[in-house]
Amino acid sequence: MSTLLVIAKAPVPGRVKTRLTPQFTPQQAAGLARAALEDTLAAVLATPARRRVLVLDGQPGPWVPAGIEVVPQCAGGLDVRLAAAFALSDGPALLIGMDTPQVTPGLLAPGLDFTEADAWFGPADDGGFWALGLADPDPALLLGVPMSVAHTGEVQRQRLTEAGLAVRDLPELCDVDTPADAERVAATAPRTRFAALHCGLCAVTR
């Protein structure tokens, strides 16, 4: 059975979801980040996996549920931190972030099955990716990939295919980065903590 990895920042005002301001205050943006992380970790807990590891930038808080291991992120660029996160898995692993609170066990489970795939790729609609699964994690598959640019996903997927891996795709999802993203995701996943908080905040700010 594979490992589920979540790479995330602690939801501290001024350090997370800064692109949600000025529509939301730094405190409100951090609240939305916390809700998104809680939704993500709940989905991870409900998904069968060998291990469930939160690779965290910052200090853990009461928003980390029982059953989730917490490991500090290493220093370096995002490509370096992703490669280091995969090194924690000791075998096949699926890695996701905290920007997709709409994620469900049904979306995650296929990416943990490597019987017919060497890699799983979950594209994000901003040109990045929300999930990456590797049967045999190799830092060379990640190091040097330009992160947080419009062609990140394209380059990352090409890196996998050029390595001769059999790559299968997960559904495309929207990352929550901007206020427009937050509105879209809240509308598509109305039963999440994220959607409930977003609805409440918008009722106050509008």
Q: For residue 76, which phi and psi values (nearest 5 degrees)? A: 120, 180
* Mean pLDDT taken over the chain: 96
Domain ranges for the chain: 3-205
Query: Would you say 51 and 2 are in contact if contact means Cβ atoms under 8 Å apart?
Result: no
Confidence band for 196, pLDDT divided at 50, 70 and 90: very high
CATH number corresponding to 3-205 = 3.90.550.10
The arithmetic mean of pLDDT across residues 167-188, rounded, is 97
Report pTM. Answer: 0.96
